[in-house]
Amino acid sequence: GAVVSQHPSRVICKSGTSVKIECRSLDFQATTMFWYRQFPKQSLMLMATSNEGSKATYEQGVEKDKFLINHASLTLSTLTVTSAHPEDSSFYICSARDNRLAGQISSTDTQYFGPGTRLTVL
Amino acid sequence: AQSVTQLDSHVSVSEGTPVLLRCNYSSSYSPSLFWYVQHPNKGLQLLLKYTSAATLVKGINGFEAEFKKSETSFHLTKPSAHMSDAAEYFCVVSDRGDSSYKLIFGSGTRLLVRP
């Protein structure tokens, strides 16, 4: 259990276009999902926290108008990179927190990660 | 504030020898600690997690880690390295008192396994 998928796995687009990346929890519900970006040979940097039915919470320095997040259901969050530019090229990874752990005294805040999406902007 | 320090950016071992990946953390409250592994161009896989139960945590693929509060450490070990263990390893901390459930990642350690 606890599988998270991302689509697409790889996308190449022209500068100025918008790209949508989907993140799905396949066998569990996730009230909260997270979006990260990872530059080559670097660690993951949290971009935003996606909350089902409410606005996303963005980390400092992340442009909310450029990286649009929608969490319309308990199993789907989308990240749209608007007017993409070459500097947006990166590896984008989502994660989902398993709702089944919510409320448990021993809740571990475990997040399950998707396989990532490689975005290349030409 | 929470932080994680992975002391080695690269670790190289021979196949069949022990692995030690070091991690020190800083947390204001009761931390949850994790080790994740990432193979090239792949997502992250959870190896193991500490949540205030047993201080010695056993994970998948023969890995284990010991939580040492006095040393604020959570080092990852494996008795015998396998070629398939070559990957990037991330030590991660989460504050169980923080309702945002954010994960704070270390900078990563690349494990190289020599034949």
Question: Tokens at residue B41, please?
Answer: 């161009």
Tell me the residues of chain B between 72 and 91 that have a Cβ less than 8 Å away from chain A. 90
Is B70 within 8 Å of chain A by CB?
Answer: no
Using the beta-carbon criterion (under 8 Å), do B44 and A93 form an inter-chain contact?
A: yes
Using the beta-carbon criterion (under 8 Å), do A43 and B106 form an inter-chain contact?
A: yes
Query: Is the Cβ–Cβ distance between B80 and B16 less than 8 Å?
Result: yes
* Residues whose CB falls within 8 Å of the CB of residue A54, separated by 6 or more in sequence, listed in order: A71
- pLDDT band of A101, cuts 50, 70, 90: low
Q: What is the mean pLDDT of residues B62-78?
A: 95
Measure A4 CA to nearest chain B CA, in Å. Answer: 10
Query: Is the Cβ–Cβ distance between A61 and A116 less than 8 Å?
Result: no
SS3 content of chain A, % helix, strand, coil (to 5): 5, 50, 45
Q: What is the mean pLDDT of residues A96-109?
A: 59
Question: Tokens at residue B104, please?
Answer: 């704070």
- What pLDDT is recorded for position B101? 74
Query: Is the Cβ–Cβ distance between B5 and B21 less than 8 Å?
Result: no
What DSSP assignment string belongs to B65-109? EEEEGGGTEEEEEESS--GGG-EEEEEEEEETT-TT---EE---E
Q: Is residue B98 over pLDDT 70?
A: no
| Residue (of B112, B4, B103, B114) closest to B46 by Cα position | B103
Q: Is residue B27 over pLDDT 90?
A: no
Q: Is residue A107 over pLDDT 80?
A: no
